[in-house]
Chain A
């Protein structure tokens, strides 16, 4: 250890200036807090907090929350039990058992489709991997369980909760309304669901024409 640094190992003690000795720079800090206090007192300041369980803010349409298994128009699961989501899962939290579908065109369907929500890391790879758009994500993030058994959610629970509420949808890469939802999300002026439906109808008519 021959080389020495750019400065002495024990630098001389810092000498406070007369202004610092009088604690005058504290006034600049007090000015900051006072300004905020006055602004907030007269309601001019922006409130950054919300009363969470009662109030909820709008979430990003790409939000990765609780999974949803989507259904066909007849109500059956879209999933064809191809195991791609289970293979792509870095947390190995998806357990599928396949069965033979009575409809010959469909081949397979999941007898069991369990996701262990305590193992899941919410990376969205299952949604990316799915060729059928059978699994998407909602923006529901408040998941709490009384025991570990409850955290393994079955296919019935996965298709139930937010399947029909478009404003609760989350990460869904092939969703054409995403951008419209986005504009609505930030401005907060447009009703999310209505806007998404309108956009969906627009794009449907465009593709039809």
Chain B
């Protein structure tokens, strides 16, 4: 399978099954488009534009790639060698929040239930389950999530100590991350997180007026002014460790590249801004009708990104423009998807396991608990069988090894079927991959 596309005056071919990305002269792009290189009566029409000699040289190069499995590489079902074991957990430290963000998928932190806090005892049981059921995997990931996890900070500290105490005995390494809205960040928490968390996700949507429209305090006022300086202080002490300023854009700000610019100009150099996932009836939802505008905005953002990254002092990472063409994951990882329910579980304050944080509160998706482990094998089996080869739309898609089939929760929420991906998400993902490739080519020139 080959996907040909252009961004401005650069032309590309992605050979899906080898993962190779070719930068093409326009002559090759024209020959590959609609596969006209296969039929002489069609490619002869290009002789007037390029000349017969050049066309024949280009055809020779195309044939060389085909003969060397670099173009039109045969599709194979790579039966997964990865035997999934639970190696990652999202710990919902609270089902409570000190913000009232309008687009919150977790019902303002409570996940459609009562307010609740995860206890040290429940967290310990979760960690015990993790170290005992992660097989030979050494690296284990725990994300302190919520609600707002800093509302349960003392328990987080105890759990980090407990996790570290298990590492030697079980030959494991915990990687801790935290996702926070920043409201409770103070000097003590800043220093603790910078010392103990491998990655930090700091929520903020960008420009004050955009952020404050959706990210409200309990009193209904905007949260930007309460948070921005805390993040700036936090980042100034972060050193080289990973973090992301993570925002959400909605139909309120289809000009979201302005929010990325705002965040960059505020001093943040690791930025992730993601499209909201919301029911179509919500006024702020992104729908099919927004896709073309959003694609154009990503193009604008790509130009800003390239321009900024020419200057060391202005350079930054945008999460969805990062792409690893050589050192990325293997084909097995790329085919099996996100690992929800098979490698990854979300743990609630009551100790229930869900396939991921997005399912929490939908009780039919409880797959086990900290005392008994995985008990609902029916759902887990379903999730094991939604690789890119199991989903017709993914099987036929050139981008399948970049997204690994998309988010299972989104597929289920929009289509009531794990095997039908969320279409708007797919369209935007494909655009981001094209632009990431374009950026890579521009920056390698």
Decide whether A and B are members of one complex: no
| Residues of A that sit less than 8 Å from B by CB | none
